[in-house]
Amino acid sequence: MSVATAQSNSTRSVWILILAGSALIATLALVTWGWQRYVHAPDEVARPVPIYLSIDKIETKMSDGSVLAFKFGLKLQNAKDQKVLGPYAPAFRNMVETMTTELSHEDLSRPDSMTEMGGYIQYTLNDYLTQQGLPQRIDGVLFEDWLLLM
């Protein structure tokens, strides 16, 4: 009889151990599910998207008779600036067109000429905005097309 009792105690212990393990696994699974369902991870920070104001294509004859055709966009600080500066786009275009008539093929054939021209356009247009009583809102210039013919 003692052998039968020892076997039943041993079997009972195994069953208790199996049930305890199953309960532990079920509890961990439930906690994991609840954590994923109800505890939200912080939302991914969206990368800022650059805002541009596109200016119509300019084709101009430069001082030495060369032709420059280009299109550019103005990188703005935020989306509201697009609405504020939209009405100024024709004035910006005319200012840049006038500025390029004073240039020559030699001025624009250097490797860094586009960078210099972009910086000068940015400076000139921000200065114009200041004269109009607006804050400087142009952060950069992006050339979309660039064709320089002799």
Residue 148 has a pLDDT of 86
CB 74 within 8 A of CB 85: yes
Report which of 123, 118, 126 is spatially closest to residue 144, judged by C-alpha positions: 118
Q: Tell me: the pLDDT tens digits for 31-47?
A: 988 888 777 666 677 77
Q: Tell me: the pLDDT tens digits for 66-125?
A: 999 999 999 998 889 999 999 999 999 999 999 999 988 888 888 898 899 999 999 999
Over residues 24-35, mean pLDDT: 91
Instruction: Give this prediction's pTM.
Output: 0.67
**Ordered alpha helix ranges (H), the chain:** 2-38, 79-85, 89-101, 105-108, 113-131
